[in-house]
Amino acid sequence: MLSAAAGGNEKREPQKVAIYGSVSTTDIATNLKAILAEDEQGKRVVFGPEDITFVKKTEEKDQVKHVGTFEIDIKVKGASDAVRRTIRVNAQG
């Protein structure tokens, strides 16, 4: 007799690979500002860590502590809607 787990009917959450430290909205804002600084118009965009939120709830507010792909919303000052972007957190090697 086979169990349900052996039959492959069990849904499992992917194992989370931890990273050393965390990636916070402050880290994301710093990286985005560095990217935008390379463009003359991008330098004019005003936002900070308080304007960035993770779409799905994370273990700790405003930061993640594992490898993965995450959606974030960025609320740019003066814009009526947030901009949604996907970020990827990789382990440093």
Per-domain boundaries in the chain = 18-89
* Strand order from edge to edge, sheet including 83-89: 52-54, 68-74, 83-89
Distance CA 35, CA 26 (A): 14
pLDDT tier at 87, thresholds 50, 70, 90: very high
Residue 44 reports pLDDT greater than 70: yes
Q: Is there a contact between 21 and 30 (Cβ–Cβ < 8 Å)? A: no
Read off the pLDDT of each residue in 18-27 and give the average, rounded to a whole number.
Answer: 91
Q: What is the pLDDT of residue 11?
A: 59
Q: What is the pLDDT of residue 2?
A: 44
pLDDT tier at 1, thresholds 50, 70, 90: very low
Output the pTM of the full model: 0.77
